[in-house]
Chains A and B, each alone.
Chain A
Amino acid sequence: MADNKNSLTKEITKGIIKENPTLVMLLGMCPTLAVTTQALNGIGMGFATTFVLLGSNIVISALRKIIPDKVRIPAFIIIIASFVTLIGFLLEGFVPSLYESLGIYLTLITVNCIIFGRAEMFASKNGVVASACDAIGMGIGFTLALFFMGSVREIIGSGKWLGLTIPVLSENPMLLFIMPAGGFFTLGVIIALVNKLSKKKPPQELGCCGCPNADACGKAGDCK
């Protein structure tokens, strides 16, 4: 029993640092770059994604023996899209300001590679409890990465942070950082920083292993 508990904790913690979906596995770049102009938006997007990830991982792992292998991709898509619709309703009703600022990117959670990747790599092979733990860990890792990146961009780009005004920076904020170009730049530097800190060889490619279509771009061979 103790062993079992240990492995579940491991499922949660691995997603936060060792297998951080955004910064180590390089999955889900679109939302990472798009909504991180403010730290708060980063947290909101992180929570919304975690909710969808948790729901879809649980349902997919519960149905993994029923869904035929051939139609699994459409089946996964429908399950994920249903949860996205659900979180859209919840946010529109309870946190309309966040719903407004996430805009179209909320809908686009449907095609976020993190969710698809976890469904394909973990939930379709493991039990419900383990899949739920995996989703929570990955969700927290994603949220933290988004929060960190949003903080960097908000502090440098607008001189504010979560409603606080940063004394010197707010007088002459570097606007470029909250513009699209700053998103690419900040993410590049943060990933380089992660490469520097981790002892493993840095990944040369995007997180194509998590993508269900890795075969299509000839990347599947890199994953084994």
Chain B
Amino acid sequence: MKTMLVILLSAMLTDNFVLSKFMGICPFLGVSKKLDSASGMGIAVTFVMICATLVTYPIHHGILVPNGLEYFDTVVFILVIALFVQLVENFLKKCVPSLYSSLGVYLPLITTNCAVLGVTVLNIDNNYSFGESVVNALGAGLGFMLALVIFSGVRKKLEYADIPETFKGVPATLIAASIVSVSFMGFSGLFS
């Protein structure tokens, strides 16, 4: 139980996917302008991360390893994730239209999100058990959402700031991200 908690919290805070591993920078900078889209994207990514782990872990340990095909990980994982996202999109569209209308737009974006592929590959690299992998995916997703939500608040203030012409837009956003990242550095060493 204790290791699970450590994995969850370190994936969320100390090794935050966005702010210390730089995965999922595109949605972090692209979708963080408004609070509701930031939280929507966060929920969608968390959901897909957990599902992708649930699907890729058995494939890796049940099919690829027994046949000595571990090197196909990248190709198989990305295909499975792409297929899965498509499936979820169709399912939500047919069965839960209300959820689809709020989350649907973010789903195709996730196919090429490196955080999702990253978490599945990290689970394999770290030799996590099935339970640990799922917890790691949950922590990574929640950490991603936390970073996005916090940053959407920062960006709201940024819009009213008087910024020099050359720094307007992306440079100012990146420097703000750097300061948010410094604040997350405060968590380092918490669980070691």
A interface residues, Cβ below 8 angstroms from B: 26, 29-30, 33-34, 73-74, 77-78, 81-82, 84-85, 88-89, 104, 107-108, 110-113, 116, 176, 179-185, 187-189, 191-193, 195-196, 202-206, 208, 211-213, 215-219
Contacts and interface: CB of A to CB of B under 8 A. Distances in A.
Contact of A111 (B79, B106, B114, B168): B114
A26 B185 contact: no
**Which of under 10, 10 to 19, 20 to 34, or 35 or more describes the interface residues of B?**
35 or more
B31 interface: yes
Interface of B: 19-27, 29-31, 71-75, 78-79, 82-83, 105-109, 111-114, 117-118, 121-122, 125, 166-175, 177-179, 181-182, 185
Among A33, A180, A191, A203, residue most surrounded by chain B Cβ atoms (within 10 Å):
A180
Contacts, number: 153
B171 A188 contact: yes
B25 A181 contact: no
Nearest to A190: B171
B26 A204 contact: no
A181 B118 contact: no
B42 to A, nearest CB: 14
Contact of A180 (B20, B109, B166, B167): B20
A111 to B, nearest CB: 4
A156 to B, nearest CB: 14
Contacts of A104: 118, 121-122, 125
